[in-house]
Amino acid sequence: MNSEENNLELKDLLKQAIPPAQDKELRRDLWPQMLRKLEEHPAPALHVPWFDWALAAILCAVLVFFPGSIPALLYHL
């Protein structure tokens, strides 16, 4: 694999073309913008991932179509 020294020339060219970010200081408080976003898109209190819903649906389907599996399920709980 390339050693870091081998990258020096390319690194140098890159840094001449795309200098490192110079102005890294945040110039204003972003909290008002954050508040606006929170008001526009209120976060749901509880987020259930889609695969949890899918698992629940599969379980319900199994119980409905194979009621004989209920005692087995209860036994294993």
Partner 1 sequence: MELLERFASGDLEAFEALFRQHQKEVYAWIVRIVHDSGIAEDLTVETFWRIYKARSRFQPEGNFRAWARRIATNAAFDHLRHSRRETGLPEDLPCADATDPGIRRETRDRIREAFQELPAKYRLVATLALIEEEPYNNIAEAAGISVALVKVRVFRAVRILRKKLNSFGVEVNANEQ
> In the bound complex, what is the minimum distance in angstroms from residue 34's beta carbon to partner 1?
5
Type of residue found at 34: M
- Nearest to partner 1 of 37, 56 (CB atom): 37
> In the bound complex, what is the minimum distance in angstroms from residue 23's beta carbon to partner 1?
6
- Nearest to partner 1 of 37, 54 (CB atom): 37
**Cβ density class 30-42: b for 16+ within 10 Å, e for less:** eeeeeeeeeeeee
- Nearest to partner 1 of 25, 67 (CB atom): 25
What single-letter DSSP state applies at residue 4? G
Type of residue found at 50: W
Q: How far apart (Å, rounded) are the C-alpha atoms in residues 75 and 61?
A: 19
Q: Which residues are at the interface with partner 1 (CB under 8 A)?
A: 1-2, 6-7, 9-11, 13-27, 29-31, 33-34, 37-38, 41, 43-47
